[in-house]
Amino acid sequence: MLVGSFTKAVNAPRLDPAFTAVPGLSAYSESNNLKGDWDRTIGMSPTAFFSMIANGLPGAKVSVSLEGPQAVIDIECKAAGKTIFKAENCVFEKGRDLLTIAKDRRESEVRSSETGTGLGKIFLSNMINTAKALGAKTMNLYGGKEDGTFFWPRYGAELENGPDSMAYTRFVERVEENMTHVPDDIAQAARAILEKPSAYVSVELANLAGTVDGRAAGAALLRETNTMLCYRLDDADKMAFTRARLGDVDALRANVTARYTAPLPGIGPQTTTRSLNGH
């Protein structure tokens, strides 16, 4: 578990008076043509963009900094005066058709008291929808040392680098080390997966049946694998798996909205967080 506090605020771009009509959204361009840069990079109305990326995230504040062909997106959600979720430095690169949602293991976090509420699933679903609307074909991220090594692959994130890469070799070596600390039947099942090398082994390992010390077997097998992962947005079968694995996200959004509309005695002054590189 990542321990720390939300002392770093979401990057706050300077506001353009002509671009503040959408509550919760702020935008900035390094040029003096915010609307033109927005239209070229984002290509949808500010209202549509905010509605898609913040859908079901309570009290969401979204800032967008347009830097040439890139859009740097920060999201922060608060309830009862406490930050319950943040995602910093999500970068859409228009020329590469790529959205990066977590370049660093600390850039996506859920407050520890709020884990299991569905915030992580809602964020992932929203970012997939947003990435596809932006025209991205790939969404990548860093699976950090905490729960992100398991959370993202559990919902379909495969290895960014395939079997011929050094990154893949290091990933396999870490998994093999973890296999020495799990029951034999789980280790054997993991070995069978690794014997068929592919970028998708991360997903298969994350969804392996069984438990280790009360947690999913995949969490134990993928511990500290610390590698780049990605979602292939243009692969219909893989996206269908991710959608099925996420389940009824609309119901999650309704539950989350109900939870954060009511008083929240459970959100106190504690500062522990879990990286999503947690969930």
pLDDT of residue 11: 44
Of 31-35, 215-219, 220-224, the range with the lowest mean pLDDT is: 31-35
pLDDT digits (tens, 9 = 90+) for 96-125: 888 988 765 555 677 777 778 899 999 999
pLDDT of residue 175: 97
* Spatial distance between the Cα atoms of 99 and 230, rounded to a whole number of angstroms: 10
**What local confidence, expressed as pLDDT, does residue 38 receive?**
92
Give me the pLDDT at residue 146, please. 58
pLDDT at 198: 97
Structural domains of the chain, with CATH: 17-265 (3.40.630.30)
Question: What is the mean pLDDT of the segment spanning 171-181?
Answer: 97
Give residue-wise pLDDT tens across range 150-167: 999 999 999 999 999 999
Residues 6+ apart with CB under 8 A from 11: 63, 65, 72, 74, 88, 89
Given a cut of 70, whether residue 223 has pLDDT beyond it is yes
Higher-pLDDT residue of 204 and 107 is: 204
- Report DSSP state, residue 113: G
- DSSP character string of 128-155: HHHHHHHT-SEEEEEE-TTTHHHHHHHT
Query: Structure pTM?
Result: 0.85
The four Cα atoms 128, 55, 245, 277 give a dihedral, to 10 degrees, of 70
Strands (E), the chain: 25-29, 61-67, 70-79, 82-93, 98-102, 108-111, 138-143, 158-159, 211-212, 215-216, 227-232, 273-275
Out of 105-114, 133-142, 196-205, least confident range: 105-114
Burial of 198 (C-beta count, 10 Å sphere; 0-12/13-18/19+):
middle
With bands split at pLDDT 50, 70 and 90, how would you rate the model's confidence at 226?
Answer: confident
Of 41-45, 144-148, 216-220, least confident by mean pLDDT is: 144-148
Q: Give CA–CA dist 91/224, Å, rounded.
A: 24
pLDDT (tens digit per residue) in 78-95: 888 888 888 888 999 988
